[in-house]
Chain A
Amino acid sequence: MKFLDEYRDAGMAREYARQIARVTTRPRAIMEVCGGQTHAIVKFGIDALLPQDITLIHGPGCPVCVTPIELIDKAIEIASRPDVIFCSFGDMLRVPGSGADLLSAKAGGGDVRMVYSPLDAVKIAAENPAKEVVFFAVGFETTAPATAMAAHQAAERGIKNFSMLVAHVLVPPAMEALLASPECRVQGFLGAGHVCAVMGCREYEPIAAKYRVPIVVTGFEPLDILQGVLMCVRQLEEGRAEVENQYARVARQDGNEHARELIRRVFQVVPRKWRGIGEIPRSGLGLRSPYEALDAEKRFGLAERNTAESAECLSGLVLQGRIKPAECPAFGRGCTPEHPLGAPMVSSEGACAAYYRYRSREPAQDVQP
Chain B
Amino acid sequence: MSVSGGETLARTGKVDFGGVLKDVNLAYVPEAKAGDYVIVHVGFALSIVDESEANKVFEYLRQMGELLELKERGP
A2 near B: Cβ within 8 Å?
A: yes
Give the contact-size bracket for chain B: 20 to 34
Given known contacts A2-B37, A227-B57, A248-B56, is B43 in contact with A117 (CB within 8 Å)? yes
**Residues in A whose Cβ lies below 8 Å from that of B47:** 197, 250-252, 256
Which secondary structure dominates where chain A touches chain B? helix
Q: Are A119 and B46 in contact (CB under 8 A)?
A: no
Partner of A116, one of B39, B43, B49, B54: B43
Q: Which of A3, A143, A197 meets B37, CB within 8 Å?
A: A3
* CB of B64 to closest CB in A, whole Å: 5
Query: Which residues of B from 46 to 74 have beta carbons under 8 Å from A?
Result: 46-47, 49-51, 53-54, 56-58, 60-61, 64-65, 68
Are the C-beta atoms of B46 and A198 separated by less than 8 Å?
Answer: yes
Q: Which residues of B contact A116 (CB under 8 A)?
A: 42-43
Are A197 and B39 closer than 8 Å at their CB atoms? yes
Nearest CB on A from B15, distance (A)? 12
Contact size range, A: 35 or more
Within 8 A of B (CB), among A83-107: 89
B18 to chain A, nearest CB (A): 5
Residues of A within 8 A of B44 (CB): 117, 145-146, 149
Q: Residues of A contacting B39 with CB < 8 Å?
A: 194, 197, 250
- What's the Cα separation between A149 and B68 when bound, in Å? 48
Partner of A230, one of B29, B50, B64: B64
Against A, the Cβ 8 Å flags (1 = close, 0 = not) of B23-50 are 0010111100000010101111011011
The answer to whether B56 and A12 touch across the interface, beta carbons within 8 angstroms, is no
Contact of A249 with B30 in the complex, beta carbons under 8 Å: no
A142 with B61: CB separation less than 8 A: no
The distance in angstroms between the C-alpha atoms of A2 and B44, with both chains bound, is: 20
28 chain-A/chain-B pairs, Cβ below 8 angstroms = A2-B37, A3-B49, A15-B61, A19-B61, A19-B65, A89-B42, A116-B42, A120-B43, A139-B42, A143-B42, A145-B28, A145-B46, A146-B42, A146-B43, A149-B9, A149-B25, A149-B27, A152-B9, A194-B41, A248-B50, A249-B53, A249-B56, A250-B39, A250-B49, A250-B50, A251-B47, A256-B46, A259-B46
In order of increasing CB-CB distance, the 3 nearest A-B pairs are A117-B43, A249-B53, A197-B47
Q: A3-B49, A146-B44, A258-B27 are in contact. List 11 more A-B contacts (CB 8 A).
A: A1-B18, A15-B65, A16-B61, A142-B41, A149-B27, A194-B41, A223-B57, A227-B60, A249-B49, A258-B28, A258-B29
